[in-house]
Chain A
């Protein structure tokens, strides 16, 4: 680790002031940041420990939804009574990620900011446009097993590795952000993460001095909720492909189909066209195939990850079959 100054803010406002400089970072659970600091992928000169701010509450919202504080741990969120009953896709996604030890430290805000697991990003002796803009991308010509098939750019094919945010994207949750002087804003989880484009160093829309204060889930909806994660071992592995699904049926037809995907893009992948295609239709293998065609029409593999295209198709079909009760 590079030497850094360690500080604790007096309050949220103070925290936004302290984290405004470019070489300053906020630390919450630290499960990703400390890892990357040891590798010197991250080299903040000042580290602002926000853990003692009171942002860990999980509380009902006025409109029947649920607000999860930025410092609520993944464990607390997954174990929360309403999350288990009304937003099981979120509980399932969190529980499918990492381990209990990590989830006990990992927070809502930190997890949203989790950085990619691309092997070239974490190895500072390899080229990586995300870590070191302009240095090139080692993965495109190298081993792209973990990498994206949708929304890539010539600069970067990294994936967002998390699970929680994929479920939040399916649920259309909103990220609450604050900045110095109470300049708050709200960003849908679906828009919080970016595609790499020509700025792969920027994972998401958060600006310096901005701090996530919480995530709000809309009121619960009818339907079946599924989080399906395909990984190389049965636990403690990042997703090859994952699907978060909130699907409802009415009179034999699909009345709701909110789907988000992990492991295939630089962000939790949400394609509004899928819902448009599926809603109002009777579920069938042919319909699921059409949905996959639409989802994957621009998909591109990079050798090692070519398999994600058929895997995403098959996982989507299996998830939709499960959600709608169709036998494939």
Chain B
């Protein structure tokens, strides 16, 4: 089906099974906690060789020679693969075609240029360090690494009215420059693949988020047809954008397997994951807010500079939610992209809002102080009726509810916001809040649902579950629609032998592929109704039987019943602005002497349409909030100014939050159905938790100790430097 109209009457609410939305434990849970769930590199494949990527220690230039013969002399080495089909960068999300190939052309420090294949991993890894390779490296003086040292390209620009005049005329205005550093996805499972070639068919177990696109990317890279490839990703050890597109190890393993006629496993080292997989761009942002006496926005300006390699279409979409989150007649939104030679910039959890929203929310906090309006109230006053420029209505909008419920649950004190109100020993204690917003994405998806003659059901799609709960929620949707308990529905994912799903990314998986399952189940219900001789809307299915007590087994008479659901977003997104919204409230303590900051408690209230599973949805929220803590306090990619290489390319020095950084997190899921967002009235939740939370923490730091820090992350040195003297 194509969705052109809001789905106001959703069948999921009329069913009898009563499992949709319920906090059901993950169906794959015991496989994960007992270590029996196999990830890409863990399939026991006979005769498998081990490959290790060779990377370039130059920033830009050409590989002039690789001494393959000498490489083959090394202990255990079977092959040194250098092939112009190998990819030099990962594919961007939803590319559906090969990324930049010809790895001999080096564009960033650490780019993969070859693959060493040996009998054992130790042999291969050792050989990569001793290959004789010559380069024709470009003079570093000619290679730009700093986004501020090049003339940027304009990425987007839109304006309405006269922002400069609004700023001049306004009784209250804020002009804030805020920077964010680059981030890494740092999924716990490194990028991995095992490729097998039988002469006709390439089978690759790989760790990927979007098999429906990845198969096309791999086929295009190798010059194979899609039906000559099978991709399998049943368990994916985290993605966060880093596995949206096919990456270097998968293509290299495939080429090696085809050349050698033996299975080849390639697993990136953690350092390689940092150095050759997508980074989130650093950003420099300018926020201008003009407001009347009551804090009502009259002007809204958001400008950003981001970076990427030459030739990459992706630019961190910093302004994405700024277009519609708050009102303000006079608007200016501009984004530029600087072309520099750091590794590819691409999607990292919540591209755009993860860095744009915290900056905007710091500026809003400054405006709240400047105008004397409580921060929660300021936001409530500035929620627009419709899209501030286009005038398009919102499909559904729960920001106000999130702000109110979050404030109530947190115990937000609407009183004085004077910083430095509470000190315990060396520690200042304060609170802060921020809004959350994330655009709603949705995509075409297919899924097959089969009711087996034995009365169980099977859902099949090449959709992946990257930890979000897809296995579980698809079973809940099918179980609800077909009247089956969750354990009577088998969900099979992550195999391109199944119908093409949407892939996991952009928080679109649940609503897209969930709708495909829903559509398939609607068709199955029609068939069942016919067999039962009742109208479909009168068909009640529960616990494997229909209302008159006849079981599905009897109704099917030994046959399987199968339907493929095909969901396509129609033109409804022209008629509505659809987004998920939320609010964060947090209390922090900041050390007066050292600037160390600890988050003591955090509440998030989120509205993201229908909740498909309370447990897994809540987990997505706490995951995002945890990322907010990282973005606020610890996570920063540091690049060498001389050759642009990523210096902190491991998990010791790229600081993702640890257990001790994260307090208990409160989550409120605000009741919402969004009929325009998807047929199942659901929107995305995987990214919403990181779309502004870092701003709440920054604002709490200010409220605690009076340090208004304009650089994320707010490491001890940054906070200390802004700590008022006394």
Contact A234 B660 (CB under 8 A): yes
Proximity string of chain A (134-148) to chain B, C-beta cutoff 8 Å, 1 when within and 0 when not: 000010011101100
Known A-B contacts A1-B126, A233-B661; A141 and B642 likewise in contact (beta carbons under 8 Å): yes
Binds A, one of B155-163, B198-206, B355-363, B593-601: B593-601
Contact indicator per residue, chain A 162-181, by CB within 8 Å of chain B (1) or not (0): 00000000000000000000
Residues of B contacting A123 in the complex (Cβ-Cβ under 8 angstroms): 645, 647, 649
A230 CB-CB contact with B under 8 Å: yes
Shortest distance between the CB of B269 and any CB in chain A (Å): 9
A318 within 8 A of B: yes
Decide yes or no whether A17 CB sits under 8 A from chain B: no
**Per-residue interface assignment for chain A, residues 96 to 120, with 1 indicating a CB less than 8 Å from any chain B CB and 0 otherwise:** 0000000000000000000001011
Instruction: Give Cα distance in the complex from A230 to B598, angstroms.
Output: 12
Judging by beta carbons under 8 Å apart, are B659 and A235 in contact? yes
Give the chain B neighbours of A146 by CB distance below 8 A: 653
Q: Which residues of B contact A237 (CB under 8 A)?
A: 652, 655
8 Å CB contact of A142 from B647, B658, B716: B647
Residue in A3, A117, A124 whose beta carbon sits within 8 Å of that of B129 in the complex: A124
Q: Are A315 and B593 in contact (CB under 8 A)?
A: yes
Do A314 and B426 have beta carbons less than 8 Å apart? no
A220 interface residue (CB < 8 Å to B): no
State the CA gap A143–B647 with chains docked (Å): 7
Which B residue sits closest to A322, measured CB to CB? B426
Contact B641 A119, beta carbon cutoff 8 Å: no
State the CA gap A3–B124 with chains docked (Å). 12
Distance A324 CA – B661 CA, assembled complex (angstroms):
29
Residue of A nearest to B718 (CB): A307
Cβ of A152 to closest chain B Cβ, rounded Å: 18
Query: Per-position contact with B for A225-248: 1 when CB-CB < 8 Å, else 0?
Result: 000001111111110100000000
- Assembly CA distance A235 to B658 (angstroms): 7
Q: Are A314 and B634 in contact (CB under 8 A)?
A: no
Q: Is the CB of B126 within 8 A of A3?
A: yes
Question: A142 and B641: CB pair below 8 A?
Answer: yes
Query: B699-726: contact bitstring with A at CB < 8 Å (1 yes, 0 no)?
Result: 0000000000000000111001100000
Known pairs A232-B716, A235-B659; A40 contacts B634 (CB<8 A): no
Q: Please give me the residue from chain B that is nearest to A2 by CB atom.
A: B126
Cα of A53 to Cα of B332 in the assembled complex, Å? 71
Interface bin, chain B? 35 or more
A40 to B271, CA, bound (A): 14
Residues of B within 8 A of A126 (CB): 57, 640, 645
Contacts A1-B122, A1-B125, A230-B594 known; A141 to B658 CB distance under 8 Å?
Answer: no
A131 to B591, CA, bound (A): 37
Cβ of B638 within 8 Å of any chain A Cβ, yes or no, is: yes
A11 at the interface (CB under 8 A from B): no
Q: Are A145 and B638 in contact (CB under 8 A)?
A: yes
Kindly provide the distance from the CB of A158 to the nearest chain B CB, expressed in whole angstroms: 13
Rounded to whole angstroms, the CA-CA distance of A143 and B126 in the bound complex is: 28
Q: Are A138 and B642 neighbours in the complex by a CB distance under 8 Å?
A: yes
Task: Give the docked Cα–Cα distance between A124 and B129 (Å).
Answer: 9
CB of A310 within 8 A of chain B?
yes
Q: A124-B129, A315-B594 are in contact. Are A235 and B660 (CB under 8 A)?
A: yes
B622 partner residues in chain A, CB cutoff 8 A: none
Contact between chains at B655 and A314 (CB < 8 Å): no
> From residue 280 to 328 of chain A, which have CB atoms closer than 8 A to chain B?
304, 307, 310-311, 314-315, 317-318, 328
Indicate whether B42 reaches chain A with its CB closer than 8 angstroms: no
The residue among B426, B639, B648, B717 with the most chain A CB atoms within 10 A of its own CB is B717
Q: In this complex, what residue of A is CB-closest to B657?
A: A233
Q: Which of A38, A125, A310 has the most CB of B within 10 A?
A: A125
Option from B57, B594, B661 in Cβ contact (under 8 Å) with A234 = B661
Q: Total interface residues on A, using CB and 8 Å?
A: 37
B57 to chain A: which residues have CB within 8 Å?
125-126
Structural contact, B652 and A117, CB atoms closer than 8 A: yes
Contacts of B136 in A (CB 8 A): none
Chain A residues near B717 (CB-CB < 8 A): 240, 307, 311
Q: Mark B584-619, 1 if CB is under 8 A from A, else 0.
A: 000000011111101000000000000000000000
Quote the shortest CB–CB distance from A34 to chain B (angstroms).
12
In whole angstroms, what is the CA distance A3 to B57 when docked? 23
Known: A40-B129, A232-B716, A234-B660. A142 touches B640 (CB 8 A): yes
Q: Given A125-B57, A307-B721: A230 and B596 within 8 A (CB)?
A: yes
Bound Cα distance from A236 to B660, whole angstroms: 9
- B75 contacts partner chain A, Cβ-Cβ < 8 Å: yes
With a cutoff of 8 Å between Cβ atoms, the chain A residues found around residue B126 in the complex are: 1-3, 40
The docked-state distance in angstroms from the alpha carbon of A143 to that of B638 is: 7
Query: Most chain-A CB neighbours within 10 Å: which of B593, B594, B658?
Result: B593
28 inter-chain pairs at a CB distance below 8 angstroms, sorted by A residue, are A1-B125, A2-B126, A40-B126, A117-B652, A119-B647, A123-B645, A125-B57, A138-B642, A141-B641, A142-B641, A143-B648, A233-B633, A233-B661, A234-B598, A234-B658, A234-B661, A235-B659, A236-B658, A237-B652, A237-B655, A307-B717, A307-B721, A310-B721, A311-B595, A311-B716, A311-B720, A314-B720, A318-B593
Q: Which residues of B contact A (CB under 8 A)?
A: 57, 75, 122, 125-126, 129, 426, 591-596, 598, 633-634, 638-642, 645, 647-649, 652-653, 655, 657-661, 715-717, 720-721
User: CB within 8 Å of B: which residues of A?
Assistant: 1-3, 38, 40, 117, 119-120, 123-126, 138, 141-143, 145-146, 230-238, 240, 304, 307, 310-311, 314-315, 317-318, 328
- Top 8 closest pairs, chain A to chain B, by CB: A125-B57, A307-B717, A318-B593, A119-B647, A235-B660, A234-B660, A314-B593, A143-B647
Give me 18 other A-B pairs in contact (C-beta within 8 A), A141-B641, A146-B653, A314-B720 excluded: A117-B653, A119-B649, A119-B653, A120-B647, A124-B129, A126-B640, A141-B642, A143-B640, A143-B647, A145-B638, A230-B716, A233-B657, A236-B658, A307-B717, A310-B720, A311-B717, A317-B593, A318-B592
